[in-house]
Amino acid sequence: MTIAQALKEKNKIGAKLSKHWGKLQNENSMIEGSTRSYDPLVLLKEIDEMTQNLIELKTKIHTASSVVRSKIFRMSELKSYITHLKVVSTKDGYVKDRYDNSVLNMEAVLKTIEIDALLEKKEAEIDSIQEELDIFNHQTSI
């Protein structure tokens, strides 16, 4: 199994696990005499098995990806950087205040064009890292 396949499997197990937790939450405590669609003890046993499988799979993925971990961390931090950069105000010049209609003269150090250029540069770097990781994930077995 490649890392790419393992990542897909990890997501499937996670989704199934989430559904099982929802079923357990709904089926465990019911009005006496009600019919349960699922046996809570069976659900809990399956949750335990899936949790163990998920732990083992994540461990294998983590171990196999150690050589590219710095790239994974870099990509994560670049995404966070972009999220924050997108909300930086670039108001510049005369702006009408939306609360009292006064006019304010705003001065932005980083203008919209500069923010856009930074975003484009960081997004291109993310794309490049993602391509490297995709190749690695498809070629590396766990």
The answer to whether 135 and 67 have CB atoms below 8 angstroms apart is: no
pTM for this model (two decimals): 0.78
User: Could you list the residue range(s) of the whole structural domain that residue 13 is in?
Assistant: 1-64
Question: Domain boundary residue among 46, 64, 82?
Answer: 64
Where helices occur in 28-68 by DSSP H, the ranges are: 40-64
* Same structural domain, 22 and 79: no
Q: How many domains does one find in the chain?
A: 2
Q: In angstroms, rounded to a whole number, what is the distance separating the alpha carbons of residues 47 and 16?
A: 9
Question: Domain boundary residue among 10, 37, 64?
Answer: 64
Taking only the tens place, the pLDDT of each residue in 1-60 is 999 999 999 999 999 999 999 999 999 999 999 999 999 999 999 999 999 999 999 999
Contacts of 125 (CB under 8 A, 6+ apart): 78
